Amino acid sequence: MSASKGLVYLAMWFLSFLVGGMENLHHDYDGLIFDMDGTLADTMPTHFEAWSRSMKEHGLVLPIDRFYALGGVPASEIIEMLATEQGKEVDAVAIAEAKEDLFLELLVDVQPIVPVKAIAEFHREHIPMAIATGSPKWVAEKILKTLGIRDWFDAIVGAECVSNSKPAPDTYLRAAELIGVDPKRCHAFEDTKLGMEAAQNAGMVVIDIHTLL
């Protein structure tokens, strides 16, 4: 075997290893739908830093365990919830926008969640795929472009694209609609309890990506 062929076989084996036995999803499903933050992109620590700075400025507190528990919920909804609980009057939309701006400033070198990216890469030419995120669509667009994978996805559904956020099924249902696939024929990928509930509520099979890491 030549050295070049050996490298090709090694690359194929490594990709199969990263995919973790999920290389045949296109035989069983008609669409794949991915959450973004914490699922495709390793952005959660940076999100928390942006949250901490933004909340402190307005006298609000978001503990780290609460932050992860609310994964997938739009920022403005979280801010309204915190303000009510902590007796503050704030402009939740303005704070959410400032938080997202700070997040992007801090996000210098976003990295992918490698096994999940490998699954998407493996299937991108075989099956339509979409993003279903609690972040604003413009933020998702920027992150995916930074990762160099924006063109892998046929649709992006962000927080502003639906009336009800996760764990309501709206985000996933809209993503399935945009790629023209019956939700029950979609396989979803998530990293949070609320996100998994959202996909399940949409009738999808969903995997907790932590089982792949």
Instruction: Encode pLDDT of 22-31 as tens digits.
Output: 778 888 999 9
Mean pLDDT of the chain: 89
What does the pLDDT average to over 146-170? Answer: 96
Q: Which helix (H) or strand (E) element contains residue 104?
A: helix 92-106
Catalytic residues: 35
Question: What pLDDT, on the 0 to 100 scale, is given for residue 72?
Answer: 86
| 17 in any annotated domain | no
Same domain assignment for residues 146 and 186: yes
| 11 in any annotated domain | no
| 140 in any annotated domain | yes
The token pair that represents 114 in the structure block? 């490698």
Range of the domain at 51: 44-106
Read off the CATH number of the domain in which 65 is found: 1.10.150.240
Residue 54 identity (one-letter amino acid) = S
Cα–Cα distance measured from residue 206 to residue 198, given in angstroms and rounded to the nearest whole number:
9
Cα–Cα distance measured from residue 142 to residue 147, given in angstroms and rounded to the nearest whole number:
9
User: 162: burial class by Cβ within 10 Å (0-12, 13-18, 19+)?
Assistant: buried
In the sheet with 155-157, reading across from the earlier edge strand, the strands are 155-157, 129-132, 31-34, 186-190, 205-208
| 80 in any annotated domain | yes
Any residues with CB less than 8 A from the CB of 137 and at least 6 apart, and which? 156, 157, 158, 159, 160, 161
Question: What pLDDT, on the 0 to 100 scale, is given for residue 108?
Answer: 81
Judged against a pLDDT cut of 90, whether residue 10 lies above it is answered with no
What does the pLDDT average to over 148-171? Answer: 96
Residue 178 identity (one-letter amino acid) = L
Question: What pLDDT, on the 0 to 100 scale, is given for residue 15?
Answer: 53
Phi-psi region of 127 (alpha: psi -120 to 50; beta: other; left: phi over 0): beta
Same domain assignment for residues 120 and 100: no
- Tokens 């402009």 locate to 91
pLDDT (tens digit per residue) in 112-136: 999 999 999 989 999 999 999 999 9
Same domain assignment for residues 34 and 139: yes
Same domain assignment for residues 73 and 177: no
Question: What pLDDT, on the 0 to 100 scale, is given for residue 19?
Answer: 62
Judged against a pLDDT cut of 90, whether residue 205 lies above it is answered with yes
Judged against a pLDDT cut of 50, whether residue 13 lies above it is answered with no
Q: pLDDT grade, residue 8 (50/70/90)?
A: very low
Question: What pLDDT, on the 0 to 100 scale, is given for residue 109?
Answer: 76
Same domain assignment for residues 29 and 121: yes
Q: pLDDT grade, residue 213 (50/70/90)?
A: confident
**Domain end call among 83, 106, 129:** 106
| 3 in any annotated domain | no
Same domain assignment for residues 189 and 114: yes
pLDDT (tens digit per residue) in 48-107: 999 999 999 999 999 999 999 998 889 999 999 999 999 999 999 999 999 989 998 888
Same domain assignment for residues 199 and 131: yes
Q: pLDDT grade, residue 1 (50/70/90)?
A: very low
As for how many domains the chain has, the answer is 2
Question: What pLDDT, on the 0 to 100 scale, is given for residue 123?
Answer: 92
